[in-house]
Every structure is written in C-alpha cells, then in structure tokens.
C-alpha cells in the first residue's frame, strides 16, 4: 500500500485515538432528549476518528439506532457468536457516562484481547496501512503487484480491504506501469490518501447485535492516519503534481 516507508504509532492505530480523550459530566440527572447515543456522543465529543467516535456513528440515530442500554457484543468477527466464541459485551451508556470515554472503551478492548488472545496485525490488503505492531510501514502489501496475495488471517474479502485495494490502484502512478491487476494512473498521493480515509471511515463494522473490534480498530485507525492535509498526508510526496484526471483518483 505504501510507496515509501512511514513511521506510525501502532498503539494509535490499534484503537484509533487522534487526540485527548473527552471528559463529560454525570448524565444520571439528564432526562428526555439527551438520553440517546447521538445526543450523548455530541456532549462527550470523542476524538475525531477514534474508536468511540466510530461507535457513535454506527450505533447512533443515523446508524443502527441502538439504545444507550442495549447490549452489544464485541467480537473478532460477526460469525464468532454463531460458533460459540463470544467476547465481552458492553453498552454505550457505560462508555459515554465515563469521565474518559476513550479509556472506557480501551478497558473493554483490553478484556477482549485477553479473552481472544489475538493481536491486531493486519486486515486484508490493509496490513501496511496499520504499520504493523513494530510501528514501521513498508511496501509489503501491494495489490497491484501480481506476485503478492492476501495473506491476512482476516478481512481479505471485506469492504475495508477493498478500500485499501482502491488506494493501491490509485498509487499506481506514472512510471509504475500497468499490471494484470492495475492500470497506470496519474493520481496525486494526497488525493489517494483522502479518499482512503473517507472509504475506511464509512465501512460498517457493526450489526444489530455485534461490533467487530478489529474492523473498528482498522477503520478508525486508517481513517485517522490518511486524513492528513498537505504535508501530513502519508503519501503527499508521491506524484504531487498528478492531474487526478483518472476515475481511480476519486474512487
């Protein structure tokens, strides 16, 4: 996915934290209109592109419209419940009424990782985007290279992985040549990053009963990392004068 190595905080990506965690008051005395996920999320104002912000987006009134006290299963993937491999449960009230909403979610995540004994290493073709656990991202996951295959244990066929495939195609710039998988295009790296961020953020990670914690981690982490503007964009130095005239540049 990357045309050049970049240093990224693995812990940042694993939970999608982009700023100081929000702190809010006690909602026990607040009634009526504020007693919804969307209203309390607005009050809590979690960091942009954090895992909590992702849950607010997916479970709020514009998403699945969960109640504050509805039980949500946090699992590796949706099918885990069907095979009896259930993770911990939570409700959004417990998170949003906490003094530190990000820490409240991280506590649930820590419990999940201990239960599942799994690490957030890669997700389909998004492995390099997550920087690996060592924090260094290299060009080790490039869909446009026909010699490579998706060797991730999860996510290869998921919509989030498709976002990363599109990003790889977008970075197949002048001089890269056309391969059996990708056409050569003339897109600027910053444009490719911008659209990857939006694509990853809009991927759905929750169903009516379960939220996939790995999907949440990578969706929020990728959205945060690739949302940079100008010199903050990870691929801003890649073909900076690209015409962005190809359809892939805005996909």
Instruction: Flag whether 45 is in a domain.
Output: yes
Q: Is 226 exposed, middle or buried (0-12, 13-18, 19+ CB in 10 A)?
A: buried
Domain span at residue 80?
7-250
Other residues' Cβ atoms within 10 Å of the Cβ of residue 17: 23
d(CA 129, CA 234): 10
pLDDT, greater one: 34 or 208 = 208
pLDDT band at 64 (very low <50, low <70, confident <90, very high): very high
pLDDT of residue 227: 86
pLDDT of residue 77: 61
pLDDT of residue 144: 94
pLDDT of residue 137: 43
The residue written with tokens 């190809």 in the block is 246
Torsion, Cα of 175, 7, 125, 220 (10° steps): -130
Is residue 25 over pLDDT 50?
Answer: no
Q: For 101-134, what is each residue's pLDDT tens digit?
A: 999 999 988 876 665 555 556 788 886 544 432 3
Is residue 21 over pLDDT 50?
Answer: no
pLDDT of residue 78: 46
Whether 156 contacts 162, CB under 8 Å: no
Instruction: Flag whether 200 is in a domain.
Output: yes
Average pLDDT value for the chain: 78
pLDDT of residue 53: 98
Instruction: Flag whether 107 is in a domain.
Output: yes
Is residue 96 over pLDDT 70?
Answer: yes
d(CA 14, CA 227): 16
pLDDT, greater one: 163 or 151 = 163
Is residue 174 over pLDDT 60?
Answer: yes
Structural domains of the chain, count? 1
Q: To 5 degrees, how large is the angle CA 127–CA 131–CA 137? A: 95
Instruction: Flag whether 2 is in a domain.
Output: no
pLDDT of residue 121: 63
Ranking 77-81, 87-91, 173-177, 227-231 by mean pLDDT, the lowest is 77-81
Instruction: Flag whether 165 is in a domain.
Output: yes
Is residue 35 over pLDDT 90?
Answer: no
Instruction: Flag whether 209 is in a domain.
Output: yes
Distance of alpha carbon 28 from its chain centroid, rounded?
A: 32
Instruction: Flag whether 88 is in a domain.
Output: yes
């Amino acid at each position: 996915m990357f045309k050049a190595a970049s240093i990224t905080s693995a812990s940042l990506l694993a939970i999608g934290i982009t700023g100081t965690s929000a702190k809010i008051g006690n909602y026990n005395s607040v009634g009526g209109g504020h007693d919804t996920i969307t209203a309390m999320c607005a009050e809590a104002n979690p960091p942009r592109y954090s895992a909590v912000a992702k849950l607010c987006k997916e479970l709020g009134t514009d998403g699945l419209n969960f109640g504050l006290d509805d039980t949500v299963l946090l699992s590796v993937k949706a099918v885990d419940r069907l095979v009896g491999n259930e993770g911990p449960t939570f409700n959004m009230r417990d998170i949003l009424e906490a003094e530190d909403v990000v820490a409240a979610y991280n506590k649930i995540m820590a419990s999940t990782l201990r239960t599942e004994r799994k690490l957030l290493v890669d997700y389909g073709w998004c492995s390099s985007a997550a920087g690996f656990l060592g924090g260094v991202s290299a060009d080790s996951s490039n869909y446009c290279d026909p010699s490579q295959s998706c060797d991730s244990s999860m996510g290869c066929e998921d919509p989030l992985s498709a976002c990363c495939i599109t990003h790889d195609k977008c970075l197949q710039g002048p001089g890269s040549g056309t391969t059996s998988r990708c056409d050569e295009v003339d897109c600027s790296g910053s444009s490719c990053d911008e659209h990857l961020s939006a694509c990853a953020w809009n991927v759905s990670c929750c169903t009516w009963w379960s939220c996939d914690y790995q999907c949440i981690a990578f969706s929020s982490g990728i959205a945060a990392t690739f949302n940079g503007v100008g010199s903050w964009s990870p691929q801003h130095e890649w073909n900076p004068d690209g015409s962005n005239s190809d359809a892939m540049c805005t996909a």
